[in-house]
A and B are shown apart, each in its own frame.
Chain A
């Protein structure tokens, strides 16, 4: 059971480039989300999805797009990378958004540097 898999582990981009961070889970979880982690700021929610075909914005959505065409996959797209998007990105999933006590399962993160 792989859990939540994120690729790539590391990425360096130049300002203005675009890329997609991949996230896949094999636990049939309905809820998936993307967070960014910055020093002194904890984790901030970028986008989330409560099921295939449904996405919504979190606390810091600007500059990012998401889609959820399948239950398993939840890619995060950076449209035009900026140095302010240098961060560690985490994908997380949980079984059911109606179960408020369900803990999140995290991937191991993607460390992104924008120069």
Chain B
């Protein structure tokens, strides 16, 4: 089975500060990991993915994510938050043996001016 957990319902950060949104996963094989962002009244948009290789993955809008196999984590990071980054963020995992993607419950990121 594959599963993913986002332990924080909400993350608050001031504009200009670094941000981290946490994600941990569970798979039986090698994970394929994704981050998506959802703005109000819109569908999810792809941010970045980890397949194999470098543990630090760079994605859209200045976001990056750090893969840690020993901690089974894939935390989303950004060095300097913008108010416009405020949105709902979803982590997702796909085990190589599966054809479907499993999503976490989402973390609301609020960036204050």
B99 touches A31 (CB 8 A): yes
B104 touches A42 (CB 8 A): yes
Bound complex: CA A50 to CA B100 (Å): 10
B104 touches A104 (CB 8 A): no
Size class of A's contact patch? Answer: 20 to 34
> Interface majority SS on A: helix, strand, loop or mixed?
strand
Q: Which residues of A contact B96 (CB under 8 A)?
A: 100
The CB with the most chain B CB atoms within 10 A, among A50, A92, A106, is that of A106
B34 touches A107 (CB 8 A): no
Bound complex: CA A31 to CA B98 (Å): 13
B100 touches A4 (CB 8 A): no
Q: How far is the CB of B28 from chain A (nearest CB, A)?
A: 14
The answer to the question of A101 belonging to the interface, with a C-beta cut-off of 8 Å to chain B, is: yes
Give A residues with C-beta under 8 Å from B: 4, 31, 33, 35, 40-45, 48, 50, 58, 90, 92, 97, 100-101, 103-109
Assuming A40-B9, A50-B99, A58-B100, what are 11 further A-B pairs, CB within 8 angstroms? Answer: A4-B43, A31-B99, A42-B104, A43-B44, A45-B102, A48-B100, A103-B36, A106-B43, A107-B43, A108-B41, A109-B43
